[in-house]
Structure 1
C-alpha cells in the first residue's frame, strides 16, 4: 500500500482523537514559539518540544489505518 492510499484509508476513532490532540499540541507549541513578548528559555524549550511531539503524533495517527480481516492474511 503506497502513502497516498494509506492517507486516504479510514482511520480508527482512537487515532482520530490522537490526531486532534496532536494538532492542538502543535498549535500551542507554535503559539509559544511565535509569541511577540520575551518568554523564559524554559517556556520556549517546552514550546519546541510540544511542536515536535504534536507533529509526530499527528503524522503517525494520520497514517494508521483500519484494516479489514481479509487484508491481514
Structure 2
C-alpha cells in the first residue's frame, strides 16, 4: 500500500479526532511564532514545539487506516 493509497483510505474515528487536535496544535504554535509583538524566548520555543508536534501528529493520524481497508487491498 503506497503513501497516496494510505492517505486516501478511510481513517478510524479516533485518529480523525487526533488529526484535528494536531491541526489545532500546529495552528496555535504557528500563531505564537508569527505574533507581531515581542514574546519571551520560552513562549517562542513552545510555539516551535507545538508546531512540530502538531504537524507530526496530523501526518501520522492521516496515514493510519482501518484494518478492513488494508485487507481489501491485499485481497484485490
TM bucket normalised to smaller: over 0.9
User: TM-score, normalization: structure 1?
Assistant: 0.94
Per-residue deviation, residues 21-41 of structure 1 (Å, max 9, x unmatched)? 000000000000000000000
* Alpha-carbon spacing, 1:19–1:46, altered in 2? closer, same or farther (3 Å): same
SS of residue matched to 2:61:
helix
* Alpha-carbon spacing, 1:68–1:40, altered in 2? closer, same or farther (3 Å): same
Matching residue of 2:65: 65
Unaligned 5+ residue runs, structure 1?
none
1:69 Cα offset (Å): 8.6
Residues matched between the structures, number:
73
Separation in structure 1 between the aligned mates of residue 10 and residue 49 of structure 2, nearest angstrom? 29
Per-residue deviation, residues 2-55 of structure 1 (Å, max 9, x unmatched)? 111110000000000000000000000000000000000000000000000000
Unaligned 5+ residue runs, structure 2?
none
Pairwise CA RMSD: 1.9
Matching residue of 1:9: 9
